[in-house]
Amino acid sequence: ISDYGKSEKVIGIAAVKGKGWNIGASEWGNKFNALFKGNIQEIRVARKALTEKEWLVQDARDDEPFEGSNKALPFLMNKKNYNFLFVPDTQKYSSQNPEIFNSQMNWISNNTKKNNIIMNTFVGDIIDSDLEKQWQNSLGAISLLDKKDVPYMMAAGNHDYADGDPFLTHYGPQRFLNKTYYKGSSPSGYSSYAIAKAGSYEYLVLIVDMKNLHKDLEWSKKVLDLHKDKPTILVSHDIIFPKLKDDKTLAVESSNGRLIWNELVKYHNQVFMTVNGHYFGIAHRVKQNAAGNDVIQMLVNYQTNYRGGNGWLRLVEFDEKKNVLVFRTYSPFVDEMSKKEKSYIDYKFLTGEYNSFKLDWDFKNRFNFK
């Protein structure tokens, strides 16, 4: 199964300059990087793509690489509930599969109101490399949100920084000035915050930039100090990463994540959730702050999966009546496919324990910041 979309011509496999083609390894910064885990039994070289009948292994497939469902599942269990949506790293869509990016943004623009989505937040790495085509691919998709006046905020990732600050040119403060939910940006222009009402509360979404983290710390603290009464979701590109131990995925904080926790989360009781991308994979944990209250930390990044992420988005449904948060992973791109187009790993909902889960959440007690 090709990882690439209609827009990308696959020419070969990864190469390191002066060392030929790599089979079973990838290239990163012109060095070998681990990719393949397993055994290669036989290698054949052909002058063209082979038909299925010519494949060495017939009906080749992984053993259930994902747990998923193509059933119609609700996004709201109660019409009074509401969602926050997070867009994982989109870099492979900007570089290889813009049709997936367009599908995501089209769905968000047409379904935000219907599914009571309060804020759509990008976790960073909007593009893969600083090429004008990739910026334009991202702009073509994200502009769909502006046309429908859909609320969204954007964090930058390490792939978004380049000479001349193209991220600020395309997605800096000027883009959000006329949006009522947007409340301001840091002096660097990369960090920002928004306020949006939902249910019984006014929520604050704080973007803390990865590259300008130290520079923007004091500004971020001031924002939090001015809004101690508002439940806050903090989004930055680099906070936690997944670590496998005894076949279980654990969430571990990075050095940036440790600084964010100590300076912006631990003693700011209103911060109840952090979300990031950057690291390959998914993970979440619940950690206690200095007041002994729960803080949910979540990593969502599918870029190393099929088609660079297959269009999966992360939604969190807030149910104040039942005191629960419901986490879902959904792909509008797969949802739009016909049955014939779907491969055995195309699911519109991912259902494994790290992609679909619930957390008990006592709203009144947790959001009482007095």
Q: Do 273 and 321 reside in the same domain of the chain?
A: yes
Do strands 232-235 and 248-253 pair parallel, antiparallel, or not at all (unpaired)? unpaired
Final residue before a domain boundary, out of 60, 84, 101: 60
Per DSSP (E only), the strands in 103-187 are 117-122, 152-154, 182-185
The tens digit of pLDDT for each residue in 319-330 reads 999 999 999 999
The confidence score (pLDDT) of residue 206 equals 98
Predicted confidence (pLDDT) at residue 87 exceeds the cutoff of 60: yes
The confidence score (pLDDT) of residue 210 equals 97
For residue 332, give the H/E element and its range.
helix 332-335
Predicted confidence (pLDDT) at residue 16 exceeds the cutoff of 60: yes
d(CA 284, CA 206): 19
Q: Is the model more confident about 59 or about 294?
A: 294
The confidence score (pLDDT) of residue 61 equals 66
Q: Do 98 and 171 reside in the same domain of the chain?
A: yes
Do strands 82-87 and 117-122 pair parallel, antiparallel, or not at all (unpaired)? parallel
Query: What is the arithmetic mean of pLDDT over 37-65?
Result: 75
Predicted confidence (pLDDT) at residue 37 exceeds the cutoff of 90: no
Reduce the DSSP state of residue 329 to 3 states and report it.
Answer: strand
The confidence score (pLDDT) of residue 17 equals 75
For tokens 């002096």, name the residue: 187
Q: Do 171 and 46 reside in the same domain of the chain?
A: no
Q: Do 24 and 131 reside in the same domain of the chain?
A: no
Query: What is the arithmetic mean of pLDDT over 151-177?
Result: 97
* Cα–Cα distance list, 111 to 103, 117, 145, 148, 189 (Å): 12, 8, 11, 10, 29
Looking at 131-270, list the stretches that DSSP marks H as alpha helix, in order from N- to C-terminal side.
132-147, 166-171, 213-226, 255-260
Q: Do 319 and 197 reside in the same domain of the chain?
A: yes
Q: Do 31 and 125 reside in the same domain of the chain?
A: no
The tens digit of pLDDT for each residue in 130-150 reads 999 999 999 999 999 999 999
The confidence score (pLDDT) of residue 300 equals 97
Q: Do 129 and 6 reside in the same domain of the chain?
A: no
Query: What is the arithmetic mean of pLDDT over 288-315?
Result: 95
Residue 294 main-chain phi, psi, to 5 deg: -70, 140
The DSSP symbol for 21 reads B
Final residue before a domain boundary, out of 36, 60, 84: 60
pLDDT band at 279; cut points 50, 70, 90: very high
Final residue before a domain boundary, out of 60, 80, 99: 60
Q: Do 29 and 83 reside in the same domain of the chain?
A: no
Predicted confidence (pLDDT) at residue 59 exceeds the cutoff of 50: yes
125 sits in the region (left: phi over 0; alpha: psi -120 to 50; else beta) called left
For residue 357, give the H/E element and its range.
strand 357-360
Query: What is the arithmetic mean of pLDDT over 198-209?
Result: 97
Q: Do 56 and 104 reside in the same domain of the chain?
A: no
Q: What dihedral angle (degrees, nearest 10) is formed by the CA atoms of 285, 305, 339, 334?
A: 60
For tokens 């187009």, name the residue: 341
Residue 4 belongs to what domain range?
1-60
d(CA 189, CA 166): 12
Reduce the DSSP state of residue 95 to 3 states and report it.
Answer: helix
Whichever domain contains 121, its CATH number is: 3.60.21.10
The confidence score (pLDDT) of residue 2 equals 46
Residues of the chain above pLDDT 90, percent: 75
The confidence score (pLDDT) of residue 21 equals 72
Tokens of 186: 């840091």
Number of domains in the chain: 2
Q: Do 195 and 274 reside in the same domain of the chain?
A: yes
Predicted confidence (pLDDT) at residue 120 exceeds the cutoff of 60: yes
User: Average model confidence (pLDDT) for the chain?
Assistant: 91
Across the strands, what pairs with 83?
A: 117, 317
The confidence score (pLDDT) of residue 355 equals 95
Q: Do 276 and 345 reside in the same domain of the chain?
A: yes
Q: Cα 327–331–334 angle (5° rounding)?
A: 150
d(CA 221, CA 263): 8
CB 242 within 8 A of CB 282: yes
Q: Is the model more confident about 56 or about 241?
A: 241
Tokens of 325: 């948060």
Tell me the pTM: 0.88
Residues of the chain above pLDDT 70, percent: 90
